[in-house]
Structure 1
Amino acid sequence: MTTVAPAATESTLVTDDGARLAVTVLAPLGAASGRTVVLVHGWAAARRVWGTVADRLIRQGHRVVLYDLRGHGASTLGREPFSVPRLGADLGAVVEHVEASGAVVAGHSGGGFAAMAYAASPGARVGGLVLLGTAAHDQDTPDSEVKMMGSPVFSWAVRRPALGRLLLGQNMLGKRADARAREVNRQMFAATSPRLRSDAFASTRGMDLRADLARVPAPAVVLAGGADKVIAPALGQAVADALPGARFEQLEGAGHMLPLEAPDAVVRAVEEVAGRVG
C-alpha cells in the first residue's frame, strides 16, 4: 500500500522590521476534517522539533503550520532586538500570512512565551492554546547562564555529538528520552548561534504575562514535564491558573523537550483544545 505524503507549501514571510521567517504549511491527508494548528518551537530549536507531532496531526485531519523563530533555523534576525513582544508580533504576522484566524496555537518553552504574548495582544485571533514546558513569569536568567549560552567553549562542546548529548541531556530531557530525541535536541541547539542563545535567555528578565493572560478567554491546556529542570512544573501550573479556560497536566518522568519526549500527549492536548474551540 502506497502512503501519500502530505502537501507541503514553503514560503518566506518578511516582517515589518526586515526579519525573514521560513514558514511551512502541511495540508492534511485526504479531506480536511480538523482545524489549523500553528506550532511554535522554543529557543535554540527549530520547526523540525515538531516532526512527529506534525505528522500525527495531519493524519488526524488538521492543517499544520510550522515556522522557524527569527534567528533560528532558516529564519533571519530583523532590525529590532530579540524580545518576547517581538516574537508575539512575529506569530501574529505568521497567522495573517497563512490565513490561520481562529487556529489552535501550540507553543513550547520560548515558543510558549510568544504564544502567550500574541494571545494577550489587541486583535489576536487565537482559537485555543496548548502550552508546553513554559512559564509566564520568573524567567530572570542569571548572568552566568547567559554567558555560558554564548561561550565558545560551551558551543564547542555541544557540537561534539557524544559530549553534547551528555551535557544537554542531563538538563533538558527526562531519563526515558530515547537516543533520537537526545541527538535531534543537540543538533538544533548546536545549530543556533551562541549570540542568539545568550540574547534569547536574557530577553525574559522581568517578564510577567499573568495579568494579561487573565483577559484571554480561549480554551487551553498547559503541559509540564515532571522532571523538567529548565522550567519548573509549578510555573506551568501558574500559567494555567492565570488563564480562565485552562487545564494543567504534569507528565511524570518527562523533561523539558515535550515535543520530542511526549508527542502523543501533545497531540491529545491539541485534539482536546480543538474540540473546545467555538
Structure 2
Amino acid sequence: MIHFQEIDGRKIACWVNNGSFLPDRKTLVFIHGAGWDHTSWIQQYTSLKNAFNIAAIDLPGHGRSEGPGEQEVPAYVEWVKKILEGLGIKKPVLIGSSLGAAICLSFVIRYGDAAAAVVPVGGGVKMTVNPMILEGLKQDPAAVIGMAVKFSVAKQNRERFSSLITDSLSRVNPEIIHGDFSACNRLDITEAIAGISIPALVVCGAEDKMTPPALSQFIRDHIAGARLALIEGAGHFVMLENPEAFNTTLTDFVNSLP
C-alpha cells in the first residue's frame, strides 16, 4: 500500500507492506533511479512482501511525492534518512538502482552502520553523464529519453520493456530528470568507498550499457568482503528484466546476514 508522511512541509510517499512492520523480519528499503519512482521495484515488493518488511521510496518530486527533486546525491541522502526516521525503520538493507545505488552507497559512507547492509544495483563510484544529454534534457527531452531507454535494457528485452520505461520517464517533469542526471554527474565517491564496512552485495546486469559491469566490479573490489552478482539476460533495469534471478540473488544475500 502507499503510505504518506509529511517531511519538511512535503508529502512523501512510500510503498510499504500492509499493516505494521514485523519485528522478526528483516527490512528492505528500495530506492529508485533517475526519473523513476517506487514502481521500478514492483517485481520485488510484490514477490518479497510476505518474507520481508519492505519500503519502496518515492524520492521528492518523483511518483506521488511532492516538491522539486534535488541536484546532489548528498541532498537525497538526507531525505532518505528523514524518510527512514519517519517510518521508524532502523538497520535496513538499503537497495538502490543507478542514482539509487549512488544514494545507498553515499548514505552508508555518511551514516555507517545505520544500515545492516547495502545493495548497489547498476551503480558506480562515478556516474559521468555526457553534457549533450544534460543539454538535450532541456532542449528535446523526448529524444534523450528515447536514447536512454534504448541503452537501458538488453537488446533482446527492448520490445518487451521499451514502452513501459518510456511511459514512466515521460510522466516525469524533465527538470526532475535533469536534476537527477546532474546529481549522478557530480558523484565521486572513489576514495570514500573503501570506508564502507557493512555487508555489501553489488548487482549489475551482464549486458548493462549505462553502467557497465566494470563499474560494479570496482565497487566490489573496494569494499571489504563485498560480493558481486552479474545477472545474465539483463541490462541496466536488471530488476525488471530478470526479476527471478534478481530476487533469488537478493533473498539469498539477505538471509545470509546475521
The reply to whether TM is greater than 0.5 is: yes
Structure 1: runs of 5+ lacking an equivalent: 1-7, 159-163
Cα distance in 2 for partners of 1:134, 1:190 equals: 23
Cα distance in 1 for residues equivalent to 2:71 and 2:28:
24
Per-residue CA deviation, residues 162-185 of structure 1 (Å, 9 max, x unaligned), is xx5xx4442110123265533221
Letter aligned with residue 67 of structure 2: L
Corresponding residue for 1:109?
98
Runs of 4+ with deviation above 4 angstroms: none
Task: Give how far 1:81 is off.
Answer: 4.5
Contact 2:220 2:227 in 1 (8 A): yes
Task: Say yes or no: does 1:154 pair with 2:144.
Answer: no
1:75 aligns with 2:53: no
Deviations 1:151-198 (A, max 9, x none): 3x332785xxxxx5xx44421101232655332211211111111212
Name whichever structure is richer in helix by fraction. 2
| 1:185 partner amino acid | I
Unaligned runs of 5+ residues in structure 2 are none
- Superposed, which structure 2 residues align to 1:53-202 within 5 Å? 53-59=44-50, 61-77=51-67, 81-122=70-111, 125-137=114-126, 139-151=127-139, 153-155=140-142, 164=146, 167-177=147-157, 179-202=159-182
Query: Partners in 1 of 2:183 and 2:54 — Cα distance?
Result: 28
1:44 maps onto 2:35 in alignment = yes
Verify the 8 A CA contact 1:33 1:62 in the aligned structure 2. no
Q: Look up the equivalent residue of 1:12 and give its one-letter code.
A: Q
Give the equivalent residue in structure 2 for 1:5. none
C-alpha displacement of 1:251: 2.1
Question: How far is 1:19 from its partner?
Answer: 4.4
1:12 is matched with which residue?
A: 5
Instruction: Provide closer, same or farther for how the CA distance between residues 19 and 121 of structure 1 changes in structure 2, counting only shifts above 3 A.
Output: farther
Provide the C-alpha distance between the structure 2 equivalents of 1:186 and 1:70, rounded to a whole number of angstroms.
20
Take 2:165 and 2:29, find their aligned partners in 1: how far apart are those partners?
20
Match in the other structure for 2:239: 259
Q: Matched residues in 2 for 1:125 and 1:232: separation?
A: 29
- Asked if structure 1 preserves the Cα contact closer than 8 Å seen for 2:70 and 2:180, the reply is no
Is residue 218–residue 277 contact of structure 1 (8 Å, CA) maintained in 2? no
> Relative to 1, partners in 2 of residues 1:253 and 1:95: Cα closer, same or farther, differing over 3 Å?
same
Matched with 1:275 is: 255
2:187 is matched with 207
- What is the alpha-carbon root mean square deviation over aligned residues? 2.6
Greater mean deviation of Cα atoms: 201-210 or 50-59? 201-210
Matched residue SS, 2:116: strand
Task: Give the TM-score, by structure 2 length.
Answer: 0.89
Please state how far the C-alpha of 1:104 moved relative to its aligned partner.
Answer: 0.9
Contact 1:146/1:202, CA 8 A, preserved across alignment: yes
State the 1:199 CA deviation: 2.1
- Alpha-carbon offset, residue 86 of structure 1: 0.7
The 2-side partners of 1:277 and 1:254 are apart by 26
Describe the shift of the 1:237–1:13 C-alpha distance in structure 2 as closer, same or farther (beyond 3 A).
farther
Alpha-carbon separation, structure 2, partners of 1:144 and 1:156: 11
1:32-66 Cα deviation digits (max 9, x unpaired)? 7631100101001110111111111113x111101
Match of 1:4 in 2: none
Which residue is equivalent to 1:161? none
